[in-house]
Amino acid sequence: MKSLLVGLAIFLSLAAAQVAPPTHPMPAAAALADRPPMGWNSWNKFGCDIDENLIHQTADAMVSTGMKAAGYQYVNIDDCWMAKERDAQGNLQSDPVRFPHGIKAIADYVHSKGLKLGIYSSAGTKTCQGLPASLDHEVADARKFAAWGVDYLKYDNCNNEKRPAIPRYTAMANALKATGRPIVFSLCEWGENKPWTWGRQAGGMLWRTTGDISDRWNSMIHIMDQQVGLEKYSGPGGWNDPDMLEVGNGHMTFTEYVAHFSLWAMLNAPLIAGNDLRSMSDTTAAILTNHAVIAVDQDWGGEQGSLVVNDTVAHTQVWVKPMKDKSKAVLLLNRGTTPTTISVALADLGFTPSSKYVALDLWAHTSQGLDEVLQSGVPGHGAAMFVVKGGR
Ligand code: GLA
């Protein structure tokens, strides 16, 4: 009997080992972008000044800084990874000086860290930096990306020969699907043809809604303003993308970066860091890894956050995002340059006024009981962010 039990135990443990997930589980296609993708991309900080050492070191830093633990997963190489010419067989190849060991070796390294690799091309004859791109090469290029172990493709819009966008993006989506490898497909169409209305059908899982962000308060706010009205197009499997983060790149203040990160979380934006992870300050890391704010970004409560109060005289706004558990994330934004106090009535947040609500401050990590209003001091070019829930 005893040996029978031991045999059974061995059998069960072997069976468990058989069904244990592999170290890098491949998500089913439907679940690929069920939450806004999180990762890093080389463009905002490094432009074309990239090489395989940077990518290796960034993957290392993603782990050592706590970014991976906070949910960041994709290490994305933007423009300028490819050689000036295709190879003799007509395939894309990596720049022999910047990436001498090829993309497959980088993918293997990134995967060995439990992370995923992203790459870049354009739905045009050349990338925005004039390098070979994928228009009319979709099938061959998608096969290459899959063979290299690529997990994410950002697909730009430069040099598109004025051909219509939907077929250009759909061709690559179909080519990626045909490889059988789950690859996140990111449409970088800059919002030119309202990709929020067709991006999902064309196979996109996120779509840029605007032109490029730059590391300035006015650029960030201008992009945020263009998200108003797009809420209804966003959701699991297809996200509005207000462009990559500039947090930590040096031309905004700490307070401004807190506002930038908070706003992107309210918008369920893909959180793609764009700074140098290898040398980021503790304060930058504290912004990018704020678990409570990331949790708002990753929570799908049925609707992207939206603007509910816009005071153009006081230069203040209130943004609200419903959360799955019926609480609400609330962002008080001061667009002006001097400190102010922002108040919003619970009724304007969609709550029945009562004394049972509590507001958790996601940056100060404090909580306060509420009666009829949520109120907070907010610095110039700053934001305060709360989750308001019942239960007092
Ligand atoms: C476009 C994109 C940017 C970046 C550059 C690279 O401008 O919108 O995000 O990828 O091309 O050249």
Q: What is the pLDDT of residue 321?
A: 98
- Cα of 369 from ligand 1 centre, angstroms: 45
Question: CB pairs under 8 A, 24+ apart, for 279-288?
Answer: 280/61, 280/65, 280/248, 281/248, 283/254, 284/247, 284/248, 284/257, 285/65, 285/66, 285/67, 287/247, 287/248, 287/254, 287/257, 287/258, 287/261, 288/67, 288/70, 288/72, 288/245, 288/247, 288/248, 288/261
Q: For a pLDDT cut of 70, what percent of the chain falls above it?
A: 92
Mean pLDDT throughout 317-333?
97
pLDDT digits (tens, 9 = 90+) for 132-148: 999 999 999 999 999 99
- Cα of 200 from ligand 1 centre, angstroms: 21
- Cα of 150 from ligand 1 centre, angstroms: 19
pLDDT digits (tens, 9 = 90+) for 355-371: 789 999 999 999 999 98
**Average pLDDT value over all residues in the chain:** 93
pTM of the model: 0.92
Q: What is the pLDDT of residue 35?
A: 98
Give the Å distances, CA to CA, from 148 to 18, 84, 157, 203, 298: 26, 19, 23, 21, 29
pLDDT exceeds 60 at position 9:
no
Q: What is the pLDDT of residue 352?
A: 80
The reply to whether 156 belongs to the active site is: yes
Tell me the H-state helices in the chain.
Answer: 2-19, 43-46, 52-64, 67-70, 102-112, 138-148, 165-179, 217-225, 254-266, 282-288, 291-298
Among residues 95, 121, 123, 99, the alpha carbon closest in space to that of 110 is found at 99
**Contact predicate 172/134, CB 8 Å:** yes
pLDDT exceeds 50 at position 79:
yes
Nearest CA residue ID for atom 11, ligand 1:
128
pLDDT exceeds 70 at position 165:
yes
- Cα of 220 from ligand 1 centre, angstroms: 16
Nearest CA residue ID for atom 12, ligand 1:
128
Nearest CA residue ID for atom 6, ligand 1:
79
Confidence of residue 354 (pLDDT cuts 50, 70, 90): confident
Q: For a pLDDT cut of 90, what percent of the chain falls above it?
A: 89
78 CB within 6 A, ligand 1: yes
**Contact predicate 212/243, CB 8 Å:** yes
**Contact predicate 213/225, CB 8 Å:** no
pLDDT digits (tens, 9 = 90+) for 217-251: 999 999 999 999 999 999 999 999 999 999 999 99
By DSSP bridging, strand 74-76 and strand 116-122 are parallel
Instruction: Exactly one of 78, 79, 141, 156 is catalytic; name it.
Output: 156
Q: Six-digit token pair at 216?
A: 């300035």
Ligand 1 atom index nearest CA of 211: 8
pLDDT exceeds 60 at position 17:
no
- Cα of 157 from ligand 1 centre, angstroms: 9
**Contact predicate 32/205, CB 8 Å:** yes
288 CB within 6 A, ligand 1: no
Higher pLDDT, 299 or 31: 299
**Contact predicate 387/362, CB 8 Å:** yes
Instruction: Exactly one of 136, 212, 348, 361 is catalytic; name it.
Output: 212
Q: What is the pLDDT of residue 392?
A: 58
Among residues 116, 133, 115, the alpha carbon closest in space to that of 124 is found at 133
pLDDT digits (tens, 9 = 90+) for 334-349: 999 999 999 999 999 9
Q: What is the pLDDT of residue 2?
A: 43
Mean pLDDT throughout 205-224?
98
Distance from C-alpha of 274 to C-alpha of 287, rounded to nearest angstrom: 13
344 CB within 6 A, ligand 1: no
Which of 40, 78, 245, 272 is the best mutation target for the ligand 1 pocket, counting ligand atoms within 8 Å of the beta carbon and taking the most?
Answer: 78
Confidence of residue 31 (pLDDT cuts 50, 70, 90): confident
156 CB within 6 A, ligand 1: yes
pLDDT exceeds 50 at position 179:
yes
Q: What is the pLDDT of residue 391?
A: 65
Which of 206, 207, 212 is the best mutation target for the ligand 1 pocket, counting ligand atoms within 8 Å of the beta carbon and taking the most?
Answer: 212
- Cα of 198 from ligand 1 centre, angstroms: 21
pLDDT digits (tens, 9 = 90+) for 98-156: 999 999 999 999 999 999 999 999 999 999 999 999 999 999 999 999 999 999 999 99
Q: What is the pLDDT of residue 141?
A: 98
